[in-house]
Amino acid sequence: MLTKEHSIANYKGRAIIPDRLNRQEHNHYIEYAKKAIEIYKSGIGQTRISLHKKVKNIFKDEENCPLKRINSFCKLLDDVSIFDRDRGGKSEKLRKKVFLLAAEYHPIVKNNESLFDNQEDKVKQIISVKLNMKWEIIEKNLFSDIIDFHRLKSIEEYPSAIALLSRYNIAQIQTTLYRASNMTIWIKNDLKRIVRYAKMLNLLHKITYLGEGEYKIFFDGPASILRNTQRYGVSMATFFPVLTTSKNWKMRVLIKSKFKSFDNILELSDKDKLRSHLPLTNDFDSIIEEQFYKKWGTESRNGWKLERESEIIHNGQRVFFPDFVFKHYSGAFAYLEIVGFWTPEYLKHKSDTLQFFKEHKTIIAVADSVKNQLSYLPDNSIAYKKSINIKDVLERLIDYV
């Protein structure tokens, strides 16, 4: 993922337009991307700074190519690479030894024509003997704790040059979301999957049913919350590629302006044909949820089977999306909603939702450390610390048969 330092955007009125490569203007970038990928593929053992210089050299004759764009390509290639690095402070200790030994021969010169006698090659040889290390090994490890001198160990290739360019387009949009005041999306497909990812990333959101299969999801942005804004901004940016894997969606984001009193506006939809790099996965919202699902298993317990995909419950325009549904062989059913750790704002919204849908057959499992922060909590709720006790759940389910 790119950082805010890589962000490139144009403005038209209040509209913010993140930098985007397209076939009409930038078709020749496919060749640049191929060369950049090849530099990394053949660059095992080279330093990060050396790889970056080679990538920048590809664009030396390209007009109207901002340095930030080139740095972005380097960052996206770094993101799929593994670099060797010094984690134990060995480089720092080696530098101290080398510099102390070299200080004895100061000044050190490079050629024979100098007035001074201590030539660089001879001093290096002396230091190698004293440290019992070849100079090539010393040189390789002397600055390996500095990010520019990390050496490429392996790389997970992009499927194609076009995939790298598509990733760039998504990543530039993500950089604008770090400053979002709020984000609203309208969606008709894949609501459950979209909401699952929103919950997994701890994004504060409210769902409204608009009728005819359409939903509106409102997200608080990092610029509107009081703490953990950087982490929250990364979560919102991480969420965006998930949205692009769906169909029939549109998005409107208010972006906090750096210099003006009003927010800028970012608008996108599936018609923009952005390609996500993410595979379609079936991740859980939390470790607690995953642990409970695996502990329960696929077999029925006391006649109850657990299903992860519960239905979407509507009450007017309000929507409730429980984590699990229990189904009994008699036809009875009940829901399970898990309330974990998050902000006071999240807990207030969760409490309001639970109270609004209290007529539905729902068991609430709430983290013991936050249960006192909920203004509404039914009598059949279950408190948990590290995991949810299946026995406690079965005892509550008796009331629903």
pLDDT per residue over 110-165, tens digit each?
776 666 778 888 899 999 999 999 999 998 888 888 999 999 999 998 889 999 99
Residue 57 C-alpha from the chain's centroid: 29
Q: Which of 262, 281, 300 is the last residue of a domain?
A: 281
Q: How far, in Å, CA of 195 to CA of 342, rounded? A: 16
Q: What is residue 90's three-state secondary structure?
A: helix
Q: What is residue 197's three-state secondary structure?
A: helix
Query: Element (H or E) spanning 382, and its range?
Result: strand 382-384
- 229, 218: one domain: yes
- 362, 387: one domain: yes
Residue 30 lies in a domain: yes
In this predicted structure, the answer to whether residue 40 has a pLDDT above a threshold of 70 is yes
Q: Of 75-84, 222-231, 265-274, 342-351, which gets the smallest average pLDDT?
A: 342-351
Q: Of 5-14, 103-112, 126-135, 266-275, which gets the smallest average pLDDT?
A: 103-112
Length of the chain counted residue by residue: 401
Residue 140 lies in a domain: no
* Beta strand pairing call for 318-320 and 362-367: unpaired
- 254, 353: one domain: no
Residue 105 lies in a domain: yes
- 236, 261: one domain: yes
Residue 309 lies in a domain: yes
pTM, 2 dp: 0.76
Q: Which of 261, 281, 301 is the last residue of a domain?
A: 281
Q: Which two tokens stand for residue 341?
A: 């750790």
Residue 113 lies in a domain: yes
Q: Which two tokens stand for residue 267?
A: 């608008």
292 closest CA partner among 395, 190, 392, 399: 392
**pLDDT, mean of residues 181-208:** 88
Residue 81 lies in a domain: yes
- 66, 18: one domain: yes
Residue 370 lies in a domain: yes
- 347, 396: one domain: yes
> In 15-76, where do the E strands start and end?
15-18
Per-residue pLDDT tens digits for 56-113: 999 999 988 999 999 999 999 999 999 988 777 888 999 999 999 999 888 888 776 6
- 191, 333: one domain: no
- 307, 164: one domain: no
**pLDDT, mean of residues 278-307:** 83
- The DSSP letter of residue 301 is B
Confidence of residue 296 (pLDDT cuts 50, 70, 90): very high
- 13, 149: one domain: yes
Identify the pLDDT of residue 90.
Answer: 87
Distances (CA, A) of 269 to 184, 230, 243, 247, 266: 12, 25, 10, 9, 10
Q: Which of 259, 281, 303 is the last residue of a domain?
A: 281
For residue 225, give its domain range: 178-281
Q: How many domains does the chain have?
A: 4
- 170, 293: one domain: no
Residue 104 lies in a domain: yes
- 363, 393: one domain: yes
- 22, 79: one domain: yes
Sheet holding 15-18, edge to edge: 9-12, 15-18, 264-269, 249-255, 180-187, 214-220, 205-211, 318-320, 313-315
